[in-house]
Structure 1
Amino acid sequence: MKAIAKLISASLLGLALSGITFAQTPVVEYYASRGNAIDQYSTSGALERTYPLTGADSAAKGIAFGPGGMYVVRSSVWGTSRVEVFNEASTLIRTYSMAGQMSGLVTSGNLRFAPDKKTFYVSALDGVYRFPVSGTAGEKIIDVSSTDVAVMPNGELLVAENYSISRYSADGKPLSSVTTLSDPHRLAPPGAWLVNVRGVTYDPRSDTTFVTMLGYSDFYFQLIALEGTSNVIKGRTQFGYANTMNLTPDGKLLVGSWTQSPGMFSFTNTVPMTFTQIGSLQAPNASFVTSKRWRTPK
Structure 2
Amino acid sequence: MNESKGILLESGTNELEIVEFEVGNNKFGINVIKVKEIIQPTPVIPIPHSHPHVKGLIQLRGEVLPVVDMAKVLGVIGDESPQSKYIVAEFNKQKVVFHVHNVTQIHRISWNQIEKPSDMYSGINSGIIGVIKRNESMILLLDFESIMVEINPESGIHVDQVKKLGPRERSNKQIVAAEDSPLLRKLLSDTLGAAGYESVEFFENGSDALQYLESLVDSGKAIEDSVQLVLTDIEMPLMDGHHLTKRIKSNSKLEKLPVIIFSSLITNDLKHKGEMVGAEDQISKPEIAELILKIDKYIL
TM-score exceeds 0.5: no
Greater RCO between the two (CA within 8 Å, min separation 6)? 2
Q: When you count strand as a share of all residues, which structure comes out higher?
A: 1
Q: Which has the higher helix share?
A: 2
TM-score scaled by structure 1? 0.28
